[in-house]
Amino acid sequence: MKVLVIGSGAREHALALALSRDPAVEEVLAAPGNPGIAEVATCVDVEGGGLDPEAVASLAAERGVDLVVVGPEAPLVAGVTDAVTARGIPCFGPTARAARLEGSKAFAKGVMEAAGVPTAASRVCTRVDQVMDAFDEFGAPFVVKDDGLAAGKGVVVTEERTRALAHAVQCLERHKTPGEDEARVVIEEFLDGPEISVFCLTDGETVVPLAPAQDFKRLEDGGRGPNTGGMGAYSPLDWAPADLVDEVVTTIAQPTVDEMRRRGIPFAGVLYVGLALTSRGLRVVEFNARFGDPETQVVLARLKSGLGRVLHAAALGELARAEPLEWSDDHAVTVVVAARGYPEAPRKGDPITIGEVGEAEILHAGTHEAHDGLVTSGGRVLSVVATGPRLEDARQRAYAAVAAVDIPGSQHRTDIGLAAAQHRVALPGKDDA
């Protein structure tokens, strides 16, 4: 099987790496890829950088690929899957209409309500006075979500009403969601409890969950600093309830997939379920329509089954006949090394030096091969991934490898997975509700 991966980040590097290790996959292509991906796949140029559906479909046809795997959300919303499948080529990822589960928070809320999926109470606002009323209704902390795509940085959670209002106004002024008549912003009640991520593969009917993970959105240790696209993650979650994944499938993923099919918009690909384990039980924080970054890096590091085969089965509508997934008992940790100035104004062009990293793997995201060596080209530059029999072992190996990375002014968190390793993750009791 020849597989084409669309994208250029650490998530796509993790996908390409996992695909290259599948005996059923003979060749991996990546468009446009990056210098790290080029070590395990053939990187090819594509017009529009992967955002032009017809260009991607033409590339897939010219290269004779058997499967296209779309990494980022923007190509999905643009309709890459629609164009590829129109050529008769299997594509792993939802259609443009189905990708609205991520492309519009308001649409996702409507689907959840119809499917009876537990989520935060919310208000969809198109005017500032509606935003103010929602603030009064829910109180602090204020949760403000951009209705459209925002590269993982469209959410503000703050005790400061003025900051929350400023973000809401910015969302309303920045853009209108494609296909909608007016710009919208979603105001939600705050959910207590730790947040986790569960990826669910689906062919539009069958749902197969992957191992859960927890990521860290804030820039600085202790959950401080600005929101980012993710500064690290770990898996598995030893502290989570034993029946967590089964409950996610039964009460969230399967009802959502069924509701999308009922609407005539079958969802096939990855349903990324962002959850809060609250005092009232599981609540959906958000849906995404693709693998999450940086959680993908740790989830795939623990996957023992062939990735290409299961993604191909999902793309063909044959997931029910796929062999059960096998997982390593090891723990995995990824630490993101970000550029100076990230997330507001990441600096580009700084040299990257990588020394001896032991058993860890360095996945590239914001890198570029210049005439004099590897340099930064984006905010999140590298994901350092390590595994170990215990979470603390994986942490030690990951941070030893981070110490071998030299980027002027780079930033990283030092507490990825620390609370879990020290058994300090507290689940809210139902008596606290």
- The alpha carbon torsion through 395, 418, 16, 271 (nearest 10 deg) reads 160
* Whole-angstrom distance, CA of residue 306 vs CA of residue 296: 15
pLDDT for residue 106: 86
Burial of 246 (0-12, 13-18, 19+ CB in 10 A): exposed
pTM: 0.91
pLDDT for residue 181: 59
At the second CATH level, the architecture of 331-421 is Alpha-Beta Complex (3.90)
pLDDT for residue 178: 53
Domain parsing of the chain, residue ranges: 2-92, 123-188, 194-321, 331-421
Peptide bond preceding 141 in cis form (omega within 30 of 0): yes
**Side-chain half-sphere of 380: how many Cα atoms within 13 Å?**
28
Strands in 85-194 per DSSP E? 91-92, 122-125, 142-146, 155-158, 185-188
Spell out the per-residue pLDDT of the chain, length 433, in tens.
999 999 999 999 999 999 999 999 999 999 999 999 999 999 999 999 999 999 999 999 999 999 999 999 999 999 999 999 999 999 999 999 999 999 888 899 999 999 999 998 888 899 999 999 999 999 999 999 888 766 555 788 889 999 999 999 988 887 555 555 578 888 999 888 899 999 999 999 999 999 999 999 999 999 999 989 999 999 999 999 999 999 999 999 999 999 999 999 999 999 999 999 998 899 999 999 999 999 999 999 999 999 999 999 999 999 999 999 999 999 999 999 999 999 999 999 999 999 999 999 999 999 999 999 999 999 999 999 999 999 999 999 999 999 999 999 999 999 999 999 999 998 886 543 3
Q: What is the CATH number of domain 123-188?
A: 3.30.1490.20
Closest by alpha carbon to 256, among 242, 273, 274, 280? 273
Query: What is the number of other CB atoms lying within 10 angstroms of the CB of residue 43?
Result: 20
284 in Cβ contact with 197 (< 8 Å): no
Give residue 337's identity as a one-letter amino acid code. Answer: V
Q: What is the CATH number of domain 2-92?
A: 3.40.50.20
Give residue 117's identity as a one-letter amino acid code. Answer: V
At the second CATH level, the architecture of 194-321 is 2-Layer Sandwich (3.30)
Strands in 299-371 per DSSP E? 331-338, 353-354, 361-364, 367-370
3-state secondary structure of 329: coil
Closest by alpha carbon to 366, among 397, 401, 341? 341
DSSP 8-class letter at 93: S
3-state secondary structure of 221: helix
DSSP 8-class letter at 327: B
